Amino acid sequence: MSTAEDAAPIRAQAARIATHDQVLDGGLLIVIFATSGALEAVATHRTEQAVKSLLDLAPETATRLAARGEEVVETGTLAVGDVILVRPGERIGADGEVLDGASEVDQATITGESLPVPKLVGGEVFAGTVNGTGALRVRVRVDRAAADTVVARIVAMVEEASATKAKTQLFIEKVEQRYSIGMVTATVLLFVIPLLAGAALQPTLLRAMTFMIVASPCAVVLATMPPLLSAMANAGRHGVLVKSAVVMEQLGTARKAAFDKTGTLTEGTPRLAEIAVVPGSGLDEHRLLTIAASAENPSEHPLARAVVAAAHEARISVEHAEDFDSAPGRGVTARISGRLVEVGSPAHLLTDAAHPAAPIVAGLEEGGATAVIVRVDGNVVGVLAIADNLRPAAATAVTAIAMVTGTAPLLLTGDNARAAGRLAAEVGITDVRAGLLPSDKADVVKALEAAGERVLLVGDGVNDAPALAAAHTGIAMGRTGSDLALETADAVVVCDDLATIPAVITLSRRASRVVVANLAIAATFIALLVAWDLIGHLLLPLGVLGHEGSTVIVGLNGLRLLRAAAWRRALSTEPSR
């Protein structure tokens, strides 16, 4: 049931209060619940639109190879066994298997891998991923119907999780309906019974009206919303967008954190991490980077861009490349100052296992980096290490999140186990689940939730969306996050600072403590005023004063969380309780 539907009894009560000249009280309740319902409708609509936009990942048409030649068809009409042609730079129209050719495919949207993956004959490809810029064509045999592709299953999983995920409600929303019915019933009895007993109409009506005013849950409603809304506003000022008061409450109840790797714990952009010159090559690091960047400069491959960017950062002038050529899965060749320079994979350029560069490559790959061989006139002269940089203070943030949740976090990634293990060791995570597809991530989260864990998942990509939807609370990285991840997540780290996550969890817990204190204050005022009205003779002006006074007190108490000091204290990170 929606918040707006739950609020129906309160709206009815608000109308009654307004008719008895308590216009401000009634109007306040109506505004609160009408706004809540409108925000819920907007959020639901935007999420639906984001899910629909995911289908745009897969192209609408594909080039099918038939007996009479090539024909362009809608991807939805492709059948298992069809063969399609995917040219360089095109999105792949169906899940399938490579029949011939070679290329490199950017499948970050599906698996989260930060670098393009070489695809040779027999390799598996996914709909919606992007073929590389290689000159060779990739012919794909369709092995799944359009309705059963990985992208289609992601859409279905997000929609299912969004529809079935239990909607955590604020404590006050769980009791307000019964309380309101009970209050209205008590007001009617307080008016009818004395009249049947012979009491005068005017004092009986006045007493019942006073009872309705002092028993009104305005202070109870405001006991909950101001602390949570203040915490939301404070978090927003510091780069964390929390989408609702319900989410603000949920954040503090998280007991298990799970992280995506690429774009979440890392920056999601490959960078040159190390330069190793082979002894006896006659080169130094500066010259090795110069010739490698010069050869890679015409290429659009992400690894090439990383090498060229490193040269620019080192203020190295890139030389003109002649006779440039690129081979998918192998590397590039070019003539630099008359010398043949080759930059590519060790499998292609390092054929001698006893070469001095072999242990360098093994060490780099063991550390999770991608090794790139540089060869000049047929001789291996150096090795470049390409890696995805860890976000600043990622290790500190992971430690802090483990502290506030009280349990060790885990890493969920589609990347290979070696790269995942290296990064996990750097940030202090011991539980690593690698090589996961989107459905696998969601299954892990669902299993943890079924075991009683309240999972806080932090991710950024389309491949994280099903798990974000299935988790107790999902947080997306704002700058690198996909549209679907941003819409599916319950909160967004707009500033991409992982340190804000433990802070917002701590702030949520403090807001919950303020809510409890406010409810105690509101309940005390209501109990005293009701008792005074029933046992003694509470004047209507005093009842209004007590009612409005309690409302003001709990409101001001909640607004304390707007102060900058509240965020500074949250940043200090308190241990889980």
Domain CATH number, residue 298:
3.40.1110.10
How much of the chain exceeds pLDDT 70, in percent? 74
pLDDT at 577 over 50: no
Q: Which residues contact 284 (CB under 8 A, 6 or more apart)?
A: 277
Q: What is the pLDDT of residue 479?
A: 65
Select from 472, 502, 532 the last residue of a domain.
Answer: 502
Check the CA dihedral 79-81-82-85 and report its sign: positive
Indicate the SS3 state at residue 103. Answer: strand
Residue 550: inside a domain? yes
- What pLDDT score was predicted for residue 150? 61
How far is 470 from 444, CA to CA, in rounded Å?
10
Mean of pLDDT values over 405-410: 92
- Using CA atoms, how far apart are residues 240 and 258, in angstroms rounded to an integer? 18
Q: Above 60 in pLDDT, residue 14?
A: no
pLDDT tens for each residue of 545-559:
776 677 778 877 877
Query: 16 pLDDT exceeds 60?
Result: no
Note whether 477 and 396 are same-domain residues.
yes
DSSP per position, 259-310:
E-IIIIIEEEEEEEEEEEEPTTSS--HHHHHHHHHHHHTT---HHHHHHHHH
State the DSSP string of 214-272: HT-THHHHHHHHHHHHHHHHHHHHTTEEE--HHHHHHHTT--EEEE-IIIIIEEEEEEE
Do 171 and 218 belong to one domain?
A: yes
Is residue 576 in a domain? Answer: no
Q: How confident is the model at residue 205 (pLDDT cuts 50, 70, 90)?
A: confident
Which residues on adjacent β-strands are paired with residue 171?
none
Res. 40: pLDDT tops 60: no
| Confidence bin at 566 (pLDDT 50/70/90) | confident
According to DSSP H, which parts of 406-488 are helical?
A: 417-427, 438-450, 465-470, 483-488
225 and 176 in a single domain? The answer is yes
Most confident range, picked from 178-187, 416-425, 530-539: 416-425
Give 290-306 pLDDT, tens digit per residue: 999 999 998 877 788 89
What is the percentage of the chain residues whose pLDDT exceeds 90? 19
Same domain as 318, residue 444? no
Q: Is there a domain that residue 455 lies in?
A: yes
Q: Are residues 283 and 383 in the same domain?
A: yes
Q: Which of 95, 260, 490, 496 is catalytic?
A: 260
User: Does residue 350 sit within a domain?
Assistant: yes
Which of 444, 468, 502 terminates a domain? The answer is 502
DSSP β-ladder status, 410-412 and 256-259: parallel
Whether residue 362 is contained in a domain is answered as yes
Q: Based on the domain organization, do 335 and 428 belong to the same domain?
A: no
Q: Which CATH number goes with the domain that contains 444?
A: 3.40.50.1000
Using DSSP, state whether 375 is helix, strand or coil.
Answer: strand
150 domain-assigned: no
- Phi/psi region, residue 196 (left: phi>0; alpha: psi -120 to 50; beta: rest), is alpha
Write out pLDDT tens, residues 207-220: 777 776 666 776 77
| Mean pLDDT for the stretch of residues 26-37 | 47
* pLDDT score at 10: 44
pLDDT score for 133: 60
Which helix (H) or strand (E) segment is 452 a member of? none
Mean pLDDT of 413-435: 86
Assess whether 260 carries a catalytic annotation.
yes
Mean pLDDT, the chain, rounded, equals 77
**Same-domain check for residues 404 and 455:** yes
Give the span between the Cα atoms of 541 and 522, in whole angstroms. 18
Written as one string, the DSSP assignment of 162-181 is: HHHS-----HHHHHHHHHHH
Bridge pairing between strands 130-131 and 240-242: unpaired
Q: Which of 52-66, 335-349, 354-368 has the highest average model confidence (pLDDT)?
A: 335-349
Q: What is the pLDDT of residue 481?
A: 57
Confidence of residue 13 (pLDDT cuts 50, 70, 90): very low
| Whether residue 13 sits in one domain with residue 86 | no
pLDDT at position 490, please? 84
- Structural domains in the chain (count): 4
Residue 400: its pLDDT value, please?
Answer: 92
Task: Give me the mean pLDDT over the 420-448 stretch.
Answer: 89
Instruction: Please write the tens of the pLDDT for every residue from 521-554.
Output: 877 877 777 777 677 776 767 766 776 677 778 8
pLDDT tens digit string along 100-159?
877 888 776 666 566 677 788 888 888 878 887 654 455 666 776 666 666 666 556 555
188-198: pLDDT as tens digits: 777 787 777 77
pLDDT tier for residue 58 given thresholds of 50, 70 and 90: low
Residue 154 lies in a domain: no
In a domain, 211, yes or no: yes
| Stretch among 40-54, 317-331, 531-545 having the lowest mean pLDDT | 40-54
**Considering the entire predicted model, what is its pTM?**
0.64
Same domain, 202 and 347: no
Mark whether 204 and 345 lie in a shared domain.
no
pLDDT: is 50 or 511 the higher one?
511
Q: Which of 367, 390, 413 is the last residue of a domain?
A: 390
* Claim to verify: residue 347 and residue 209 sit in the same structural domain: no
Cα–Cα distance for residue pair 445/453, rounded to 1 Å: 9
For tokens 């609370």, the residue is: 473
Q: What is the pLDDT of residue 89?
A: 76
Burial class (CB in 10 A: 0-12, 13-18, 19+), 5: exposed
Give the pLDDT score at 66.
81
Which has the minimum average pLDDT: 58-62, 236-240, 444-448, 490-494? Answer: 58-62
pLDDT of residue 547: 66
Same domain, 286 and 375: yes
**pLDDT for res 445:** 92
Span 451-492, pLDDT tens digits: 989 999 998 877 788 888 889 898 988 766 566 667 778 888
pLDDT at 177: 64
Distance CA 80, CA 455 (A): 38
Containing domain of residue 221, as a range?
A: 3-50+164-233+503-571
Q: How far is CA 1 from the centre of its chain?
A: 25
